[in-house]
Chains A and B, each alone.
Chain A
Amino acid sequence: MINELLFMNGYGIYVLSAFSFTLLSFSALYLITKVQFVKEQNKFVAKFGSLNSEKAKSAKSQRINKEILANATNN
């Protein structure tokens, strides 16, 4: 069964390399996007942490900023 699946009447090398290329591309794109996201999130948290209390209060009045901070702490 396993041999049949890998050999595929002699086309296994083509079929499996096409599927492997696709899955590798997916993994690479997912990882790159995830790294970029985490980097921006960390930058936001660091910048937010360096704000004085007045500016931090004003920034926190925006719902989206609160959401970003909440997500960063959850991750």
Chain B
Amino acid sequence: MFKFFEPNKIFQITSKAPRYVLILFVIILCIGLTEALILSPEDYKQSDAVRIMYVHVPAAWISLGIFSSITLLSISGFIFKNKNFFLISKSLAPSGFVFNIIALVTGAIWGKPTWGTWWAWDARITSMLILALFYAMYLISWRIFESEEKVFKITTFITILGIINVPIIKYSVDWWNTLHQPASINILSKSSIHSSMLFPLLIMTAAFALFSLLIFLMKYNTELIKIKNKGLDRL
């Protein structure tokens, strides 16, 4: 089954896809920004400050999703001895890290008008900061270790340690008393967010997901060309 995902076979698709993904991303982002900044209603309590949610929440969701995917791919790469899984993980990490930083910074900007402070050592915020550190360690490992075997082992170890933090981030607002509000959107139970706010949130999430796909494809293609460059040296 993994033969379908061999770089030589999928490069034909991954090399052409970015331009289409970019066009789609720009269209969805424009719709999302119009909805988020103009058409969606203000909150009865937070007034217009609630609009920060439309960048903060999707960024947090996607950074968590990417880290979980990286962990799954790294472990699978180890089990099935498939280098391509590591290559995919490596290509996903930069956008995951940037989304994590966006979630932290926009959270701090949102905190000032709603809590009266830019930062609090609150369970949710601190655990998101720890996730950013795991992302940083993961990315730095790829830069500093030359040996492929070593970097595969170390990055997998980092992701396994980091994934322990993901459920802590998710349930921190339920387990501890925090400044951060509990989740408004639940898959298994009824969400407490109104549809007029849910729609722009989902549109912005789709735009952010497309952006991470775009960066992933560009980074993956770069990594493949790097490998081919080394191959030319060996000829």
Name A residues whose Cβ lies closer than 8 Å to a Cβ of B: 5, 8-12, 14-15, 17-19, 21-22, 25-26, 29-30, 33-34, 36-37, 40-41, 43-44, 47-48, 51, 55, 58-59, 62-65, 67-68, 71
Contact = CB atoms under 8 A, between A and B. Distances in A.
A47 B42 contact: no
B47 interface: yes
Contacts of A21: 102, 105-106, 109
B95 A29 contact: yes
A17 B222 contact: no
A55 to B, nearest CB: 5
Interface residues of B, number: 45
B55 A44 contact: no
A61 to B, nearest CB: 11
B126 interface: no
B37 A5 contact: yes
Given A15-B49, A68-B15, 14 more contacts: A12-B48, A14-B52, A15-B37, A18-B105, A18-B106, A19-B37, A21-B102, A26-B211, A34-B218, A36-B222, A37-B221, A51-B232, A59-B231, A63-B8
A10 B15 CA distance: 46
Nearest to A41: B225
A44 B214 CA distance: 22
Contacts of A8: 42, 47-48, 51
Contacts of B37: 5, 15, 19
Nearest to B91: A33
B228 A29 contact: no
Interface of B: 7-8, 11-12, 15, 33, 36-38, 42, 47-49, 51-52, 55-56, 59, 94-95, 98, 101-102, 105-106, 109-110, 112-113, 211, 214-215, 218-219, 221-222, 224-226, 228-229, 231-233, 235
Interface centre among B101, B106, B110, B232 (most CB of A within 10 A): B232
A15 B222 contact: no
7 contacts: A9-B48, A14-B109, A15-B51, A29-B98, A33-B222, A59-B232, A59-B235
A5 B15 CA distance: 40
Contact of B109 (A5, A18, A71): A18
